[in-house]
Amino acid sequence: MSRRYAVRWHEAFRFISAVLGAALVLCAPVGAAGVVGGAGKITVGGKIGPLQIDKSNRAAVVAFAGKPDAEIQSITYGLSKYDALGYGCSTTSANDNFTLGNDGPYCQTVFFIDVAHKSLEDFITTSSSYHLSDGIHIGSTISAAQRALHARVDRSCLAVLKVDGAHALFRISFTGGKADTFVLHSTQRTAGLFNCTA
């Protein structure tokens, strides 16, 4: 084999390897849920994608949302110990995140597992990856949410639209007239970190 042919073969091999590598990256799945922290439909009945309040465990949350960016176990006085799985986390508090502990980390999406019962008890998100089936999403107006959910915003503590389902309590918090947070609570138990959306 001539040196000239060998060099060209080497260049062709590098090109083919780069193309195949790029194709593998494009074809590879992006985690089990497709989006780190999960994505999809939330229901008043307590569904978050395939998860269900009071039924899904930690393994199911990780299978859906991926490995958490942060995780802590803690307890609110007088309540059961919880395991908080956080996604989209930062060390800095902001309007679009929620604390896992007293001093952070601060995350956009948090799944709270009741440790004793091994089940999902609370869920909170400010992520635009989640929506309701009727098109309500982060950024929707108060009037649109009230029409879709046939409920009125309660302004006794912040501006919160509350809908109580048979299996869960669904809440939307608003700032400046726009939805900024979705919350789901178990009707059986809670981590006890939610004041205005209880």
Length of the chain equals 198
pLDDT of residue 194: 63
Q: Do 129 and 165 have their domain in common?
A: yes
Cα 154 to Cα 186: distance, rounded to the nearest angstrom: 20
Does any domain span residue 197? Answer: no
High-pLDDT (> 70) share of the chain, %: 76
Is the CB of residue 88 less than 8 Å from the CB of residue 69? yes
Domain at 134, CATH number: 2.60.460.10
Q: Do 71 and 137 have their domain in common?
A: yes
Does any domain span residue 194? Answer: no
Q: What is the pLDDT of residues 41-87, one digit of tens each?
A: 999 999 999 999 999 999 999 999 999 999 998 777 656 788 999 99
pLDDT of residue 8: 35
Q: Do 82 and 110 have their domain in common?
A: yes
Cα 182 to Cα 118: distance, rounded to the nearest angstrom: 22
Q: Do 22 and 84 have their domain in common?
A: no
Does any domain span residue 94? Answer: yes
pLDDT of residue 191: 62
Q: Do 80 and 151 have their domain in common?
A: yes
Q: Where are the alpha helices (DSSP H) in the chain?
A: 3-27, 58-65, 142-149
pLDDT of residue 156: 79
Region 145-161: mean pLDDT is 88
pLDDT of residue 145: 94
192 — pLDDT class (breaks 50, 70, 90): low
101 — pLDDT class (breaks 50, 70, 90): confident
Cα 180 to Cα 137: distance, rounded to the nearest angstrom: 9
Q: Do 86 and 160 have their domain in common?
A: yes
Cα 64 to Cα 34: distance, rounded to the nearest angstrom: 9
pTM, two decimals, is 0.78
Cα 30 to Cα 66: distance, rounded to the nearest angstrom: 9
Q: Do 144 and 167 have their domain in common?
A: yes
Q: Do 82 and 135 have their domain in common?
A: yes
Question: Domain limits at 5?
Answer: 1-30
User: How many domains does the structure of the chain reveal?
Assistant: 2
Which candidate, 43, 80, 86, places its Cα nearest to that of 188?
A: 80
